Each structure stands twice: as C-alpha cells, then as structure tokens.
Structure 1
C-alpha cells in the first residue's frame, strides 16, 4: 500500500477513538478503560461508590416525573458517552438503553420533485442520541393526495421501526412501550 498511497508505518496500534488495543501473536484485546475513566472524570463521578447492580430492573421512568433536570445538555453528553462505552461493556447495555429510548420521525413532500412531480418520503429512527437508520427517496408510485403520501411515508417508517425492534430484541434489548406520537 505504501507504493500506491502516501503513508507512514507507525507500528502497532495502541489507542484509537477511545479504544485501547493490546496485540499479541494469537489475540487482539480491546478495552475502553481509559475512555471510561475519562468519562467518570468529565462528569465528576470518579469517586462514586461502585454498585453490584446498575439499576432496578423494575424501574419505570416517566418523561415528567416532577424532578427538574439540572443540565439536559450534560445528561445527553453522558448518555452519548455511555452508548459509545457499550462497544466493550455489554453489561451496561440494558441500563443505557432505558435512558436512551428509540424514537422515529417521518415526513413527506407531495409532488416535491420538480422534474417528474413524484412525492418524496423520508424517515429517521434514532436510538438515544444517535441516528440508527434513515431514508429519503422519491416515491415509486403516483399518489393523488397529500394524505395518501403521508400514509405511505408513515407505513414505510413503521415497517423500518418494526424491523429495528426485532433486531434489538434479538440483541436482548426489547422495547416495552411506545409513545403514541413516536413510531
């Protein structure tokens, strides 16, 4: 590759994007120990006591539970960091998934393409703070009303959400409840 591209051989990989890499002849070990420690330091949690269980499994969270959030931006940043940490710490996946629910958004533009007057459909599905899947495309069939294209867009987004739920269920991350305004 060095003959084709301008590059340097910097030796074995030790640290990349928060992943520590330990290599030997017969194995590669990935860790996020430094990343986890930096996350604890960033949010002032380094000296907290460890717990045997991450959270109460029967805990039911509410959007408006009467408690006011001190810093929503800091909370979202912490959740994003925890989501990234689940790459090597699968034991925290359930707890992180509880605080970062799956949401979906859909929209359509009736006869939005100026070239052929086809409608344009779009949807975005998120898990926590990250986009998991999205689509934006021209509708293959002609529709006769904005209501019809909205139904088609919603149906396609719902099919994608169902597929994603099944995929998450296979990974032991089943969604239990759905907000009626969100797919």
Structure 2
C-alpha cells in the first residue's frame, strides 16, 4: 500500500488512505483476508482494485453489508451502521435474552470502587462479556462511558462490578437496534462537546473526562471558522459567584492523594 502512495494511519495500522490531486480521498481497511475499499475518487479505486488483483487472488463481493459483526444499511440520504445481530448473540451468550430492559446503561449516581470487601466473581465470566462490550462501543457510543468504567476492574472483578456489567446488558436488551447514522448533508460545521467528572474517582480522586468532535461528514476538510464548544461548567460558575461554596470543593482531598502518590513514588 505504501508503494502505491498510500499513508498508514497511526491511530489504526490496518487503515491506509490516499488523497489525490483533485481533492478526492480513497481509503482501504484490511483485517486478515477481508478488505474494505471506499472513497470518492472512482479512478483511484479502480486503479487500486486492479493492482490488488495483480498481487493477490481476490474476489469482489460488492457493496459492504456486513464486516466483523458490523451491519451496514443504505438509503439515498444516509448510511446506518449497527451491530444488531452482535447484540442479540451477546444477550443469548450471557443468558440475558429474556431479561428486563433498563432505561439507562448505568446509574448516574453510582461510583464503583475496587470493592475489596465485596465477594469476588469468576474472572473469565466477567472478562468475556466486558471484552465483547468494548468492541460494541464502535457503533454504540451511548455505552462507551459505562463500559470504560467496568473495564477498569478486569484484574479483580467483584460483585458490584458484575452487576454494573449486567445493567449495560439490560440496557442493550431494550435497544438492540441502535447504531450510528451518517447523513448526507451540505452543512459543514465544527463542533466539540466535553464534560468532566472532576475528581470523581473514589479510589484515587482522579478526574474522568469525555469528549467528542464533529466536523461535517468528510475525511479531510479545511476549516478556518470559529468552532462551537460545549461544556458543563455550572458548578464552576456557582462557586465563582458564591465563595462560601469553596469549602465544599474536592481540592483538599485531591492534594492529599497527590502528595501520597508522590511520596510512594
């Protein structure tokens, strides 16, 4: 691929892409003996297929419909990517096919700790579904945070961790068909969303931050306008307007954990 002028992605080494002088882009993704080719430069795609045929014995299967558990559906206005069958198989495998659906993947007030005083659970029984859930986050960003939390306890899972994992499965039971919708539109805006749970970990008082960015629907766009930035800073505003609330902040606990960590190092 590099000999053909393609660059290898540093974020995913199985992804190769090439930008043509006309502004088009062609991308190739490979997994063992399966390949996806996409892009808006038809000539380059045809050239790439011809070169691949010269190097390997390949068979073109047409428009992408199913790849590594990911289902792709098309219409004139959009492309929908989901893992419906993957979710269904996961629920059957974990014995949750007939479970009661949950409205959310995690209780927003729940704080999981190492829970050494709680009864341990079988490590394999915990790691297998959590691993499957990690892969599911490719098309289900709505469970990304919850899965990131329970995956922190893979080395020593306890009963509360398993219950939290089951809560995600119950949530999936009520929404197995959800996925990501890529709409065809001409509106190009750059937006970023971020939120942070300041010093939210009850184990070491570390913070958890999450963010996502959206730039239209192209792979390479030059953008020079101001970007919209959304964040949740109500607490900071309230504290700034009411100094009495300063004694309720977590700075003292954070300082204590920080100093203790440095002393141990």
TM-score by length of structure 1 reads 0.53
Q: Corresponding residue for 1:72?
A: 123
Residue 211 (structure 2) aligns with = 170
C-alpha distance in structure 2 between counterparts of 1:64 and 1:24, whole Å: 48
Shift of 1:166: 10
Q: SS in structure 2 opposite 1:170? A: strand
- Structure 2's unaligned 5+ residue stretches are 1-48, 155-205, 213-230, 232-253
Q: CA RMSD in A?
A: 3.4
- Report the CA distance between 1:37 and its aligned residue: 0.8
The verdict on how the C-alpha distance between 1:88 and 1:100 changes in structure 2, with shifts beyond 3 A counting, is: same
Q: Aligned pair count?
A: 116
d(CA) in 1 for partners of 2:73 and 2:115? Answer: 45
- Aligned to 1:100, the other structure's residue is in SS state helix
Larger radius of gyration: 2
Structure 1 residue 45 and structure 2 residue 96: aligned?
Answer: yes
Provide the TM-score with structure 2 as the length reference.
0.38
Q: CA deviation at 1:95?
A: 1.2
- Work out which of the residue numbers 86, 92, 104 in structure 1 matches 2:137: 86
What is residue 27 of structure 1 aligned with on the other side?
78
Give the conservation status (yes or no) of the 8 Å contact 2:114–2:153. Answer: no
Q: Deviation string for 1:24-54 (max 9, x for gaps)?
A: 4443211101001111111111111001122
How far residue 102 of structure 1 moved from its aligned partner, in angstroms, is 9.5
1:97 pairs, out of 130, 139, 148, with 148
Question: In structure 2, what is the equivalent of residue 112 of structure 1?
Answer: none
Q: Specify whether residues 86 and 71 from structure 1 end up closer, same or farther in structure 2 by C-alpha distance, changes over 3 A only.
A: same
Structure 2 distance, partners of 1:86, 1:17, is 13
> What is the deviation of 1:66?
2.8
Match of 1:101, SS? helix
In 2, distance between residues paired with 1:35 and 1:100?
A: 19
**Aligned-partner SS, 1:169:** strand
